[in-house]
Amino acid sequence: MSKMKKVAPFRCRDPGLECDYEMEAEGEEELMKRVEGHVMTAHQMDVHKEEIRKKILGAMR
Q: Where are the domains of the chain?
A: 10-60
**Burial bucket for residue 45 (CB in 10 Å: 0-12, 13-18, 19+):** middle
CA angle 21, 25, 29 (to 5 degrees): 105
47 and 36 Cβ atoms separated by less than 8 Å = yes
Residue 2 scores a pLDDT above 60: no
Reported as a pLDDT band with limits 50, 70 and 90, residue 28 is confident
pLDDT in tens, 29-59: 899 999 999 999 999 999 999 999 898 888 8
pTM of the model: 0.77
